[in-house]
Amino acid sequence: MSNQTETIEQTRTGPLPIGESSVHDGELYARGVRIGELIGRVDYIDMLFFEVQGRYPTRDEHTLMSAYLVSLCEHGVTSPSTHGARVSSSVRAPFAACAINFISAAMGAYHFGALEQAMIQIRHVTECVDDLDAYVDTEMREGRRVWGFGHRFHRSPNTDGLDPSTLDDLGERTDPRVRRLIEIADELGWGGQHVRTARRLGRALYERKRIPINIDGIGAGILLDMGFDAETALLFVIVGRLPNMARLHLEEQSHAPNRFVALAERADPGFDRTVDREQR
């Protein structure tokens, strides 16, 4: 549970959990509460906390969670998850198939799984590491990845010759989602220790190799501060990105079917037909 829960008023006065979830003829209970007592009294983010943690979020948690989920809603067309969904949609697979492809094609550690890995590592650093600089130096010397940092598109500017202590550890050209989430956290006076750890790690990596915090790094800190376990990480990625997948699916319907195959055959000068496809 967030360390802010005791000091900040909760967002809703909805009924608290009192038992098990169950179904009866004519009635449905969520954690012992009739679903009708929740519908219209709490919103989706409240219900997310209610179901996963058995509590309602504080006002600040609600604000930051809403901002975090919005930050996940757009990823352009550069990610493996986006490619999988678009290719499925291009052959007129139904949206459900596109959504499944979106999830299954990107569950590895270097895409969706990176959030879980970042949560595990940031929790470890927060709880077990006394000398953060020494920890970062060891990880880099041993060639181990610090999860939640670095991005192939969003990179920190070259600031050689400037005092690192005077610099914003995000940098002007880094991920705009991260910048805004940190701004909101600062506006709220967010005091969570895991976000502090993520920012300290970001500072250390920035000073050494201009490596910025990415969306998984800041997201890991936010979720851990709110009391979520690393094993639930995929929940937030899926909830956040599915609206994006729905848009991509609908957008793809305005293009010719199999357009990705057509692009490869007709527009890519380096495309070579295989021998078996040339056979008659």
Closest CA to 232 of 64, 51, 95, 105: 51
| Matching residue, tokens 């604000």 | 63
Return d(Cα 219, Cα 211) in angstroms, integer: 17
- Going from the C-alpha of 156 to that of each of 78, 149, 167, 195, the distances in angstroms are 19, 11, 11, 20
Mean pLDDT of the chain: 80
pLDDT at 62 over 90: yes
The first and second tokens of residue 169, run together, are 């550890």
pLDDT tens digit sequence for 139-172: 989 988 899 886 554 455 544 444 544 445 444 4
- Going from the C-alpha of 35 to that of each of 11, 45, 117, the distances in angstroms are 18, 15, 34
pLDDT tens digit sequence for 104-134: 766 666 567 689 999 999 999 999 999 999 9
pLDDT at 138 over 60: yes
| SS3 call for 194 | helix
Return d(Cα 34, Cα 280) in angstroms, integer: 66
